[in-house]
Amino acid sequence: MEIRTLNSLEKVFASFPQIIAVYLFGSYLEEPERAQDVDLAVLLASREGIVDLYTHLYPKLGEIFAPLEVDLLFLNVVPLPMAFEVISKGKVLYCRDVERRTDFEYVVSGLYMDYQYHLEQGRRELYEAVKEASGFV
């Protein structure tokens, strides 16, 4: 990612005091030249005002990344496996408060490790149920 783009992003994110950190993840992180969109995950100080923040933040990000689409998600409200995927494989683009970000990462990692067995077991059971119901046993 170009320095100019990073500087623009930092200015945008800094203008929203409720943003604690922003992660880049997905195809743009892995292969930017082939990506069709940019996946960003935002950690907020609280869940309040997410819709309002989205309506103000999304157009600004769209201008920076055009012509690519921007997929924006909020880590405060995503399922645990998605939050773990972002913090473990994503790259921090912006961080206002390192302590709050690392506390969030610590909690998510701990919960994920605690529930990983149950998540995998649930996936296996669902897969088996679908396989049996479809007749492909």
Q: Would you list the domain boundaries of the chain?
A: 3-134
The answer to whether 71 and 40 are in contact (CB under 8 A) is yes
Length of the chain as a residue count: 137
3-12, 77-86, 102-111: which has the minimum mean pLDDT?
3-12
Q: In this predicted model, what pLDDT tens digit does every residue of 14-42 receive, in sequence order? A: 999 999 999 999 999 989 889 999 999 99
pTM of the model: 0.85
Question: Would you put residue 114 in left (φ > 0), alpha (ψ -120 to 50) or beta?
Answer: alpha
pLDDT band at 3 (very low <50, low <70, confident <90, very high): confident
| Range list of β-strands (E), 1-137 | 19-25, 37-44, 69-74, 91-95
Q: Which CATH class is domain 3-134?
A: alpha beta
Mean pLDDT of 53-80: 96
Rounded to an integer, what distance in angstroms lies between the CA atom of residue 108 and that of residue 103? 9
Mean pLDDT of 75-83: 96
Rounded to an integer, what distance in angstroms lies between the CA atom of residue 122 and that of residue 124? 5
Q: Is the pLDDT of residue 136 over 70?
A: no
